[in-house]
Structure 1
Amino acid sequence: MSEPAAATAADQPSPGTEEAPRRKRRGGKIAATTALLVVATGGAAAAGLGLGGGSSADEPHDALPPRTAEVTRQTLTDSRSEDAELGYGSTITATGNLSGTLTELPAAGRKITRGQALYEVDEHPVTLMYGSVPAYRVLRTGTEGTDVKQLEKNLKALGYTGFAVDDEYTDSTAAAVEEWQKDRGLEETGTVEPGQVVFTSGPVRVDTLVAAKGDRTGPNQKVLSYTGTTKVVTVELDTTDQRLAEQGRKVTATLPDDTKVDGRIAQVSTIIEAGSGEQDEAKTKVEVVVALDGAKAQKAADKYALAAVHVDFTAGRRKNVLTVPVAALLALEEGGFGVEVVKGSTTSYVPVTTGLFAGGRVEVSGDGVTEGTKVGMPE
């Protein structure tokens, strides 16, 4: 795992939260604090820079710092490699709505698509369809709403015709439903009961069976749990690393055989992990779900059911910028940051604007700061 990156100036500890060693520069009137920063974002500009108290950026000082470092020009990348788990993502529980006996259940690991039975109650199939609105009411002639349109989209995708795909449940919709019910071996009522259909976002993979064949089921009774059918990578981050988890950002995942595949942050959520004992407090984590993009990535991941992998995040990148070690920054008494520029046997304080922090270095800009400039460093 790569070294944690440093933080932006905006996220430095506030007074009283983390003590920073103070040093007063020799021969000058500027009280400075060594900046101890923990990176949380891609970069920040320090504001309000000034050299009050009669000092100026060009005022020379006789005493030299204990050591120096050079200002370098480079590409600065705020990146992090994190342990992760390859799998199918979060599980969702399917609960029953029909009262009866479970007469057929799928095997764990089976993939089920639109129009197929998720399970059977009293030998009647509970059909999987695609949509975001749960089946929460009876759909019949005269019903209107987005759930009606959702049902009609599925009927059309399954090959049924003769109705308009809109939010109105008409006699034509009822006729198509009767035809669908006939094909499924259901009573041809022309209405759809909530328990006859389960809507999911897409194809599903059965994860675990909560109930067994022959069990009684009914409203709110758990039947099985399922996931999506494509491989995803799940990462847990500390809240201080949340800057890495920007939805839509591209990442790279390294599989157990060292194959690298492209990924994209598809979902970011906050979770709370309960403490393991009375003394352990609950911890807040950021859960990141990474989608593996493309057939090539999915094929490479299909070799593994569950596996430990690594994910490389890049929160920010700045090309061809001037950088100094983070330890070279001085928090100026009047606000903002500066560096101690060393020229021969004299030094002077120069205000700088900070940019990206990463890998122990920080992007800087300001008058008198150029490539090769020597800056003071603490002991």
Structure 2
Amino acid sequence: MRKLLAATAGLLAIAAAWTVVSLLDGGGTEAAAPATPPTTATAAITRQDLVDTKTVDGALTYAGERQLSTDASGTVTWVAAEGAVIRRGRSLLKVDRKPVVLMYGTLPLYRPLQQGVSDGPDVEQLERNLKALGYGDDLTVDDHFSYATYLAVKAWQDDRGLPETGRVDAAQVVFLPSAVRVTDAKTEVGAKTGPGRSVLTVSGLRRLVHVDLDTGDQTLARKGAKVTVELPGGEQISGKITSVGTVARSSGSGQGEGDGTTTVDVDITLDKTPKTRLDQAPVEVELVSERHKNVLAVPVEALLALREGGFGVEVVENGATRLVAVETGAFGGGMVEITGTGLAEGMRVGVPAS
């Protein structure tokens, strides 16, 4: 019963306000009600489906975080600020005042591209970007680095303040699938950089929620399952689990106090864009644990904490009351599943007056 601990705190407060007596028949399911019942309101026992849920902590972040490096060598003279959105044709940073430019593509720039290079998809990728940026009116987008490609590259280099060589390499361009958001600058103005050195951490623009889910709760995370996310300020947005990790990760020492925990990565896509712009904002995610079908249920506040342990409900019939011990099951939507001797749909149980 996944929310019992949370519910118990509230139930004990209710119990303190109600006078509850012990079961009288030594193991039976009923007990005499107080002589002057404090109940001034009732609720019906209903038969319905209940969805058991569990709330876990997560963080609102951005999709597709990755580290960027460049082949540029020299002194960093400008770097994109944290939170900046960089789109095609814009600079990620400048080294010795020469820009390192973002272009769109899935293939890394693994070789210099110039006249005479063998045909390949990386050439087509470059040409597609040159066309999109307005260079090469006579350029045919294909896998061949032609003279028209050479002229388009030189025109682009001239506009960007790069040496007009007609040759493109990884000191000038970084290919990424789409626009990115800078989440962290790994370098600063005045710092030295060189080939392979990490300069930026970037992510995609799509917001998502990430959860480090305890492996004991792994059954709660099913790809495609609907969830509810509560954001800072109380905003609630529905979402869907889009990724569940297959590799468990351990944290902590695993010895004595602060024992380590083992978690799996869970990513959730939100159904709409949240109002907050914060990165790594703490959120709460409500996961569906189990659906209990066609069960008897009462409002949670109808439960009474019994002196000898467990819970009961106060059944109200024909102006009289009797206390019935119950077993609780799923909690969901302010209702709780109950089973107990003689209980049936439609009976009335006492609840605190509102």
TM-score, normalised relative to structure 2:
0.63
- 1:284 paired to 2:262: yes
User: Which one of the candidate residues 243, 254, 275 is aligned to 2:252?
Assistant: 275
Could you tell which deviates more after superposition, 72-81 or 253-262?
Answer: 72-81
SS at match of 2:267: strand
> What's the counterpart of residue 293 of structure 1?
271
Could you tell which deviates more after superposition, 127-136 or 139-148?
Answer: 139-148
> What's the counterpart of residue 159 of structure 1?
134
- 1:3 paired to 2:3: yes
Cα contact 2:68–2:200 (8 A) shared by 1: yes
> What's the counterpart of residue 183 of structure 1?
159
> What's the counterpart of residue 170 of structure 1?
146
- 1:88 paired to 2:65: no
> What's the counterpart of residue 198 of structure 1?
174
The 1:127/1:257 distance shift into structure 2, 3 A limit, reads same
Q: How many angstroms apart in 1 are the aligned matches of 2:114 and 2:240?
A: 41
1:175-208 per-position Cα deviation (integer Å, ceiling 9, x unaligned): 3222221211112222210221112232222222
Q: How many angstroms apart in 2 are the aligned matches of 1:281 and 1:261?
A: 33
| Superposition pairs of residues 233-248 of structure 1, within 5 angstroms | 233-248=209-224
Structure 1 position 120, deviation (Å): 0.7
Q: How many angstroms apart in 2 are the aligned matches of 1:96 and 1:173?
A: 23
Structure 1 position 73, deviation (Å): 5.7
SS at match of 2:217: helix
Cα contact 1:182–1:188 (8 A) shared by 2: yes
Equivalent position amino acid for 2:252 in 1: G
Q: How many angstroms apart in 2 are the aligned matches of 1:271 and 1:197?
A: 36
Q: How many angstroms apart in 2 are the aligned matches of 1:112 and 1:131?
A: 14
- 1:223 paired to 2:193: no
Q: How many angstroms apart in 2 are the aligned matches of 1:137 and 1:223?
A: 20
Q: How many angstroms apart in 2 are the aligned matches of 1:152 and 1:73?
A: 65
Count residues in correspondence.
264
SS at match of 2:138: coil
The 1:289/1:194 distance shift into structure 2, 3 A limit, reads same
- 1:97 paired to 2:97: no
SS at match of 1:301: coil
TM-score, normalised relative to structure 1:
0.59
Task: Provide the aligned C-alpha RMSD in A.
Answer: 3.6
- 1:213 paired to 2:189: yes
Q: Which blocks of at least 5 consecutive residues in structure 1 are unaligned?
A: 5-64, 326-356, 363-370, 373-379
Q: Which blocks of at least 5 consecutive residues in structure 2 are unaligned?
A: 5-26, 30-45, 298-328, 338-343, 346-354
Could you tell which deviates more after superposition, 89-98 or 273-282?
Answer: 273-282
The 1:150/1:284 distance shift into structure 2, 3 A limit, reads farther
Q: How many angstroms apart in 2 are the aligned matches of 1:271 and 1:136?
A: 33
> What's the counterpart of residue 82 of structure 2?
108
Cα contact 2:47–2:296 (8 A) shared by 1: no
Cα contact 1:265–1:288 (8 A) shared by 2: yes
**What percent identity do the matched residue pairs reach?**
40
